[in-house]
């Protein structure tokens, strides 16, 4: 039976979780942007959240449709209880919340403010903001997967017929808390991706940011020759399911069989494109 074919609707909503690295190294400047990795990552996350809200907006005098439950969990510097750890990255009214239904997300950005263009065009626009750039401390990625996994587990149990949860990890560094609670990073990822709905296993994708301007590698199908930490992240990343392969090809990527949900050394606009490909699930069953 085909998997990863369930369309997203209000009766069968999807789940998107973004793990956002807020470690100290995210303070580094991102290529020629003049802004830090943390600023660029937060901008991309706010853009993808806005994209999702817009997609679920269908008519005047009608609420944003509940197509997704969304969680953003940061790891590294915490804001709500200062120190190192994992927390919900939402600010404002949603601070501390785990998975938030899309209509509620649309209602409660922490601010609406002038933000620069993600693709470095010399323009800016007023847009809603849910997540601020933050950096500090180390990279407790295992804890982040543990926290996200608990939310994903409960969600999958409550939505057995939905498209499986999509977890996207945005990071610039190496895990610093493996092993955590007796389990390695690989073990935590294995636990996460063993959570299933009837439509398939939880998807875990990785996007690695580099402050240096080096070649981008998007959706590789072979770990051989990938720059560090590419081979490790390749092993951790789920194979792209067919609907996302189709999305990527429509967006111009030459995706080969066996391609993983992995992007290395991406720029800001590619980060957003990968987030868009990774969060676009089937419109309708076929």
Partner 1 sequence: MIHSRQVVFYASKHGNTEAEWEDGAAAAPADANGHGPRFAVADGATQGFGSARWAQQLVAGFVGDQGAAPDLTANALYHWVLDMQDRWRDDPRLAGATDLQRIKQANVGSFATFLGCELRDLAGPRPHWAAVALGDAVLFHVRDRTVVTQFPPIPADGFGSNPDGLPTGSATLADMIGRASFARGDLVAGDQLYFATDAFAQWIAATDLRDRHALWTTLAGLDHPDTFRRLVADQRAAREMTNDDVTLMRVWIDRAQAAYLVVCL
For residues 99-128, which are near partner 1 according to CB under 8 A? 106, 112
CB of 276 vs partner 1, minimal distance in Å: 13
For residue 239, what are the contacts with CB-CB under 8 A and spacing of at least 6? 258, 259, 260, 261
Write the binding mask 29 to 68 for partner 1: x where contact by CB under 8 A, - elsewhere: ------------------------xxx-xxxxx--x----
For residue 177, what are the contacts with CB-CB under 8 A and spacing of at least 6? 138, 139, 140, 141, 142, 143
For residue 181, what are the contacts with CB-CB under 8 A and spacing of at least 6? 142, 146
Crossing angle between the packed helical segments 268-279 and 242-250, to the nearest 10 degrees: 140
Please tell me whether residue 159 adopts helix, strand or coil conformation.
Answer: coil
| 36, 153, 210, 283: which one binds partner 1 (CB under 8 A) | 283
Please tell me whether residue 224 binds partner 1 under the rule CB under 8 A.
Answer: no
User: How many residues sit close enough to partner 1 to count as binding (CB under 8 A)?
Assistant: 20
Closer CB to partner 1, 135 or 273, in the complex:
273
Which residue matches tokens 């750039």?
A: 133
208 closest CA partner among 186, 191, 230, 225: 230
CB of 193 vs partner 1, minimal distance in Å: 27
Neighbours of 181 (CB within 10 A): 10
Please tell me whether residue 269 binds partner 1 under the rule CB under 8 A.
Answer: no
CB of 82 vs partner 1, minimal distance in Å: 33
Closer CB to partner 1, 56 or 248, in the complex:
56
- The residue range among 6-14, 24-32, 175-183, 233-241 that interacts with partner 1, by the rule CB under 8 A, is 6-14
67 closest CA partner among 51, 52, 48: 52
Q: Which residues pair with 18 in a beta bridge?
A: 72, 168
CB of 127 vs partner 1, minimal distance in Å: 9
CB of 11 vs partner 1, minimal distance in Å: 3
| 3, 7, 29, 174: which one binds partner 1 (CB under 8 A) | 7
For residue 33, what are the contacts with CB-CB under 8 A and spacing of at least 6? 40, 120, 268
CB of 126 vs partner 1, minimal distance in Å: 9
Q: Are 142 and 186 in contact (CB under 8 A)?
A: no
Closer CB to partner 1, 181 or 283, in the complex:
283
Q: Please report, as ranges, the residues that interact with partner 1 according to CB under 8 A.
A: 7, 9-12, 53-55, 57-61, 64, 106, 112, 283-286
């Amino acid at each position: 039976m085909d998997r990863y074919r369930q369309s997203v609707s209000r009766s069968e909503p999807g789940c998107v979780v973004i793990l956002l690295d807020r470690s100290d190294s995210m303070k580094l400047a991102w290529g020629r942007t003049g802004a830090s990795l943390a600023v660029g990552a937060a901008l991309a996350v706010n853009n993808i959240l806005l994209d999702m809200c817009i997609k679920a907006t269908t008519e005047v005098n009608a609420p944003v449709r509940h197509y997704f439950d969304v969680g953003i969990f940061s790891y590294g510097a915490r804001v709500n209880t200062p120190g190192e750890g994992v927390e919900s990255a939402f600010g404002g009214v949603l601070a501390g919340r785990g998975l938030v239904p899309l209509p509620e997300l649309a209602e409660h950005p922490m601010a609406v403010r002038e933000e620069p263009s993600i693709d470095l065009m010399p323009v800016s626009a007023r847009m809603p903001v849910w997540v601020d750039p933050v950096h500090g401390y180390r990279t407790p990625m295992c804890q982040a997967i543990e926290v996200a996994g608990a939310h994903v587990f409960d969600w999958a149990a409550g939505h057995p017929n939905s498209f499986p949860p999509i977890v996207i990890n945005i990071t610039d560094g190496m895990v610093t808390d493996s092993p955590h609670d007796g389990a390695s990073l690989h073990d935590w990822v294995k636990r996460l991706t063993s959570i299933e709905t009837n439509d398939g296993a939880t998807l875990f994708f990785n996007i690695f940011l580099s402050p240096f301007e080096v070649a981008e590698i998007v959706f590789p199908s072979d770990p051989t020759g990938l720059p560090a930490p590419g081979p490790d992240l390749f092993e951790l990343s789920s194979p792209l399911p067919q609907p996302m392969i189709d999305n990527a090809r429509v967006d111009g990527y030459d995706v080969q069989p066996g391609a993983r949900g992995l992007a290395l050394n991406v720029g800001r606009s590619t980060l957003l494109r990968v987030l868009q490909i990774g969060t676009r699930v089937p419109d309708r069953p076929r």
